[in-house]
Amino acid sequence: MTAVLSVWLHAEPLLTNVANRQTLSLAGTWSYIIDPYETGYFNYRREPYDQQKEPSTSAYFMNHHPRDKAELVEYDFEKSPTMAIPGDWNSQKENLSFYEGTVWFRRSFDYAKRAPDRRVFVHFGAVNTRAEVYLNGVKLGVHEGGFTPFNFEVTSLLRPANNFLVVKVDNTRRADAVPTTSTDWWNYGGITREVTLIEEPSTYIRDYLVQLKKGSLNTIAGFIQLDGTRGEEDVVVEIPALAIKHTARASSGKATFEFTHEKIEHWSPERPRLYEVFVTTQHQRLRDEIGFRSISVDGPNIVLNGKSIFLRGISIHDENAQRGARAFSEADALVSLTWAKELGCNYVRLAHYPHNENIIRMADKMGLLVWEEIPVYWTVDFLSAAALASAKAQLAEAMTRDRNRASIIIWSVANETPPSEARHEFLRQLIRQVRSFDSTRLVSAALERRDAPGDPTTQLLDDRIGDELDVVAFNQYIGWYGGKPEDAPKVKWVIRFNKPVIVSEFGADALQGLHGSRDERWTEEYQEHLYEQTILMLGNIPNLRGVSPWILADFRSPRRVLPGIQDGWNRKGLISNRGIKKKAFFTLKRYYEEKARLSQ
């Protein structure tokens, strides 16, 4: 047998602001092969084809066709079915609805570069969960983590015609992965976000940061990271509307800068001012739209542009409820954020993993503050080095993609994780990473409350990871998972931290159109009553500075099996999967109208 190559290829440094680069979209129809036994990846001795010097033509990534009628080839992408990419496989194909395993995708394309010295990259918005990527039969690398972008350089492999890009996607849930085996959302598999070819000059702008400096309302500071040079060269940051044209000197490929302007109009939910920003080198001019705002905490206050604010929020999954599919497009983002605006929100919690970039950019445009989260959810294996590495990588990718977006004010590192020494250390490492990557935003996590010993009417929030956070948030479901809605306003809250507090979740399931008394589970009246009672309770929570009830719309979850009611859906949405608002939508809307009036 051929020797096994021990090289383990991973994704390369991320290119940011993909939408404004010179790109060719590979969206469209891709052929696919369902491969539950991974026949296209392993030979019959279970040796991976891609770790052998000369991969066999049996390997699916070779996209092989018989050379004559005698040759044995047991797969054929040409004759295989097709599906739309981007798009999850579960919602597109009946037979893949519950599928968890491997599917191979292939897309053929021609490509003419603008000039011979140009460099080309293939960029994936996200693949859930594990992607092995091959171009023209050569492995580019591996990426794990279903909600963050990655790219590979393909300059030397690309040819003018008949390229074939093959991606092995595996969405098997694993105990040492992030998220782990158990979640309350659908494990949508596939190439769920855009795939793009990006063409760049030989020295190109890979990444940059252009944001207000921490603590300042008039100093813009950041960096520009070039790729392809180690020498010195000038880079220019331009903001035409402010007549700013600042030249910085890059050495070893990186330039840092800082400049002051007295008349910056600050980004806020009321006036989401975005400035056109250009980053220019002698080879390239890259455009972006960037808002400038400051965010900080002061004791129990969250302070935006120098003013204390209350976050009128709603939690959202990255799903289009009406299609029952993973969201990815601008149109999907517009649906969710228009509803959030209608509800009176100035803030959204994008749970429980990084959402697609369109919704973040749309939040920037529409004026919605954002909580962004990584899927460190429930029972992650906190002793696993692999889990920690994955969480860190996902955090780095999400932050690299989004740290120029004014809308994002909070990075959240976890949701409902059980306190322990191992978990504490795991989260501390993530918190440290956030602070070293981005000192300008706030760090939080959705924690849990607990009963005071012997007295469930007193609720304690004292998880000691709260000491490390800027904002303490917690989820609670009094009146749904325990007790009655009327218990909520009677609770006494004891919160150990002199920090802003967010109730990051509360809610109840209701099947839209099902009516009854307010004590009857699953009815709109029960959900409405629970909202009324919880809103009364919110008045008793010390230092409360925001809420993001669970959740904007019903969402698919394999845990939710009750026939006739759930049918595979978590029904805690304020809006049904047909897009119809339930009664509680209007209860929350009234609360937010009142909050907005009081804050003026």
Binding interface with ligand GCB (CB under 6 A): 184, 352, 415-416, 475, 505, 550, 570, 572
Which of 176/184 has CB closer to ligand GCB?
A: 184
CA distances from 308 to 347, 355, 423 (A): 14, 27, 32
Q: Is the peptide bond before 266 cis (omega within 30 degrees of 0)?
A: no
Which of 140/350 has CB closer to ligand GCB?
A: 350
Which of 100/416 has CB closer to ligand GCB?
A: 416
Spell out a b/e string for 378-400, using b for 16 or more CB atoms within 10 Å of the CB, else e.
Answer: bebbbebeebbebbbbbbbbbbb
61 φ/ψ angles, rounded to the nearest 5 degrees: -70, -10
Q: How far is the CB of 325 from ligand GCB (least distance, A)?
A: 18
Cα–Cα dist 54/35, whole Å: 22
The answer to whether the beta carbons of residues 149 and 85 sit under 8 Å apart is no
Q: How far is the CB of 57 from ligand GCB (least distance, A)?
A: 45
Give the CA radius of gyration of the chain: 25
Beta strands in 54-100 (DSSP E): 82-85
Which of 351/409 has CB closer to ligand GCB?
A: 351
* Long-range Cβ contacts of 330-335 (<8 Å, 24+ apart): 330/358, 330/362, 332/356, 332/358, 332/359, 333/358, 333/359, 333/361, 333/362, 334/362
Three-class SS of residue 416?
coil
Terminal-residue alpha carbon distance, the chain: 74
Taking the CB of residue 223, how many other CB atoms lie within 10 A of it?
15
Cα–Cα dist 554/514, whole Å: 14
Six-digit token string for 365: 């445009």
Cα–Cα dist 67/317, whole Å: 48
Q: How far is the CB of 314 from ligand GCB (least distance, A)?
A: 14
The answer to whether the beta carbons of residues 403 and 437 sit under 8 Å apart is yes
What's the one-letter identity of residue 334?
A: L
Q: How far is the CB of 119 from ligand GCB (least distance, A)?
A: 41
Q: How far is the CB of 258 from ligand GCB (least distance, A)?
A: 40
Angle at 97 (CA atoms; ends 91, 103), nearest 5 degrees: 90
Which of 238/554 has CB closer to ligand GCB?
A: 554
Which of 411/550 has CB closer to ligand GCB?
A: 550
Cα–Cα dist 433/391, whole Å: 11
Strand partners, 451: 459
Which of 280/570 has CB closer to ligand GCB?
A: 570
Q: How far is the CB of 117 from ligand GCB (least distance, A)?
A: 49
Which of 259/378 has CB closer to ligand GCB?
A: 378
Which of 299/482 has CB closer to ligand GCB?
A: 482
Which of 122/391 has CB closer to ligand GCB?
A: 391
Three-class SS of residue 291?
coil
**Surface-to-core class of residue 53, CB atoms within 10 Å of its CB (0-12 exposed, 13-18 middle, 19+ buried):** exposed
Which of 364/505 has CB closer to ligand GCB?
A: 505
Six-digit token string for 238: 């331009």
Closest of 109, 154, 149, 107 to residue 127, by C-alpha: 149
The answer to whether the beta carbons of residues 350 and 371 sit under 8 Å apart is yes
Closest of 295, 408, 399 to residue 347, by C-alpha: 408
Eight-state DSSP code of residue 60: G
Name the strand (E) or helix (H) holding 386.
Answer: helix 385-402
Which of 85/391 has CB closer to ligand GCB?
A: 391
Which of 183/225 has CB closer to ligand GCB?
A: 183
Which of 367/546 has CB closer to ligand GCB?
A: 546
DSSP 329-382: SHHHHHHHHHHHHHHT-SEEEE-SS---HHHHHHHHHHT-EEEEE---BSS--T
Q: How far is the CB of 248 from ligand GCB (least distance, A)?
A: 43
Eight-state DSSP code of residue 159: -
Q: How far is the CB of 477 from ligand GCB (least distance, A)?
A: 7
What's the one-letter identity of residue 97?
A: S
Helix axes 357-366, 330-343, angle to 10 degrees: 40
Q: How far is the CB of 588 from ligand GCB (least distance, A)?
A: 16
Q: How far is the CB of 514 from ligand GCB (least distance, A)?
A: 17
Which of 387/446 has CB closer to ligand GCB?
A: 446
Q: How far is the CB of 521 from ligand GCB (least distance, A)?
A: 14
Q: Is the peptide bond before 360 cis (omega within 30 degrees of 0)?
A: no
Q: How far is the CB of 493 from ligand GCB (least distance, A)?
A: 18
